[in-house]
Chain A
Amino acid sequence: MIVTISNTSEKPIYQQLYEQISAQILKGELESGYCLPPIRQAALELHVSVITVKKAWEELERSGLINTVTGKGCFVAEFSPDEMLRIRNETVLKQMESDTAYYKSFGLTLDEVIGLLNKIY
């Protein structure tokens, strides 16, 4: 698991953690059954507060990406390819929502956005 935290980013740290770890799970870089470090250990190593890590882990669990086994720890969940696709799309959509708000603030139409996307994609 690789995590880089930026203290200057506008994004709350728990969200940075969530996004980076969820991406690694969805890309298959972290396999199902992989054991995440204990919350307090992770907080110490990442130089962030305990609650920050807790929140990120909770968010991952809510998205169905990890399971908590009481007394043992948090493990990357097992999912079918269909589920994987659904969670991936949900995650990407979340990002698109905030991007869309940005495009709308300039008054772009959907066609214009797609046109611009075509140029860089």
Chain B
Amino acid sequence: MLALDIRNLNKKYPHFQIKDVSFQLEKGYIMGFIGANGAGKTTTIKSILNMVQVDSGEIYILGKNIADHEIELKQEIGCAFGDIDFYTRSKIKTLTDITKKFYKNWNDETYYNYLKRFKLDENKKIAELSRGMKVKYSLALALSHGAKLLILDEPTSGLDPVSRDDLLDIFQELIIGGEISILFSTHITSDLERCADYITFIEHGQIIASSEKNELKESYRLLSGSEAQLNEVREHLISYKINSFGFTGLIHAKDIDPSSSLRATTPSLDEIMIYFAKKEDVYV
């Protein structure tokens, strides 16, 4: 069963658009949503939550169309946007009391466990929290009403390495039963190397790839060789860099000539992102 099924989303703004965005997340798994700043991650996430009105496209959550079942489905979704910039002069306690009224399955015990785990003090005002603390607080809210699908926009940014590690542990604990699914956007790819099952990569409002993590990495190769060898492959390369040792470039694994003697390695997620970003620069 699919936890999330996004089909052909389109949304046009004066200077930016997301185009034909489609991807699926199977129930019980973690998907990382990556892309450079401004690639369309947040717009896509907000469209899923119906916080942005899309021009066209369909979104199914746990098998139901969100356009028809929005209120019901939102009980099943936990979302966090990293920052909280409303009611900043209220105490955590006050804001929680307001939030929990909206959720049928709110669980105080779970909530207080997270407060304790995140070392959050209920009596602090939102304005007094550091960025990392705000992230943790918004996560505590997202995780305390029995959500089946978590949609988190950059949950790890602003967190120190220890807190990030703890958060990834929480993600893995949550999916252990196979019932909860997580979609989270990030540009800290080491988080994904560790716990993501699937990766969706967006660039300039379009999905470049969406597949199992290792498959995605294996579908590209990082080639290196001398400048003379560059000519053999230049037209197939997504982009390349030249230095005094020769060149390094990213290529689709299917475009590699099997008889080629060039050194080929599997790129990291960072490298894939960097070379795709570089490709765009060429056209500018």
Taking a contact as CB atoms under 8 Å apart, the answer to whether B178 and A49 are in contact is no
The reply to whether the CB of A43 lies closer than 8 angstroms to some CB of chain B is: yes
Taking a contact as CB atoms under 8 Å apart, the answer to whether A44 and B214 are in contact is no
Taking a contact as CB atoms under 8 Å apart, the answer to whether B175 and A50 are in contact is yes
Closest to A48 in B: B194
Taking a contact as CB atoms under 8 Å apart, the answer to whether A47 and B266 are in contact is no
Please, how many angstroms separate the alpha-carbon atoms of A37 and B48 in the complex?
36
Taking a contact as CB atoms under 8 Å apart, the answer to whether A49 and B169 are in contact is no
Taking a contact as CB atoms under 8 Å apart, the answer to whether A50 and B29 are in contact is yes
Select which of A12, A40, A52, A55 is within 8 A of B175 by beta carbon: A40
Select which of B30, B168, B214, B266 is within 8 A of A14 by beta carbon: B214
Taking a contact as CB atoms under 8 Å apart, the answer to whether A49 and B213 are in contact is yes
0/1 interface trace, chain A 1-43, chain B, CB 8 Å (1 if under): 0000001001011100000000000000000000000001101
Interface size class of B (residues with CB under 8 A): 20 to 34
The reply to whether the CB of A51 lies closer than 8 angstroms to some CB of chain B is: yes
Please, how many angstroms separate the alpha-carbon atoms of A73 and B278 in the complex?
46
The reply to whether the CB of B28 lies closer than 8 angstroms to some CB of chain A is: yes
Given contacts A10-B265, A10-B266, A40-B178, contact A51 B212 (CB under 8 A): yes
How many residue pairs at the A-B interface have CB separations less than 8 Å? 47
Taking a contact as CB atoms under 8 Å apart, the answer to whether A49 and B197 are in contact is yes
Please, how many angstroms separate the alpha-carbon atoms of A7 and B194 in the complex?
9
0/1 interface trace, chain A 53-80, chain B, CB 8 Å (1 if under): 0010000000000000000000000000
Closest to A15 in B: B214
Select which of A10, A41, A47 is within 8 A of B194 by beta carbon: A47
0/1 interface trace, chain B 169-210, chain A, CB 8 Å (1 if under): 100110111100000000000000111111000000000000
Q: Which of B206-226 contact A (CB under 8 A)?
A: 212-214, 218
Contact residues in A for B169 (Cβ distance below 8 Å): 44
Please, how many angstroms separate the alpha-carbon atoms of A52 and B212 in the complex?
10
Contact residues in B for A43 (Cβ distance below 8 Å): 172, 195
Closest to B168 in A: A47
Q: Which of B60-113 contact A (CB under 8 A)?
A: none
Taking a contact as CB atoms under 8 Å apart, the answer to whether B195 and A47 are in contact is yes
Contact residues in B for A49 (Cβ distance below 8 Å): 30, 194-197, 213
A-B pairs, 9 with minimum CB distance: A44-B172, A51-B197, A49-B197, A40-B176, A50-B197, A47-B194, A12-B214, A49-B195, A51-B212
Chain A residues with CB under 8 Å of chain B are: 7, 10, 12-14, 40-41, 43-44, 47-52, 55
| Listed A/B pairs (19) with beta-carbon separation below 8 Å | A7-B194, A10-B265, A10-B266, A12-B218, A40-B176, A44-B169, A44-B176, A47-B168, A47-B172, A47-B194, A48-B194, A48-B195, A49-B195, A49-B197, A50-B30, A50-B175, A51-B197, A51-B198, A51-B213
Chain B residues with CB under 8 Å of chain A are: 28-30, 168-169, 172-173, 175-178, 193-198, 212-214, 218, 265-266
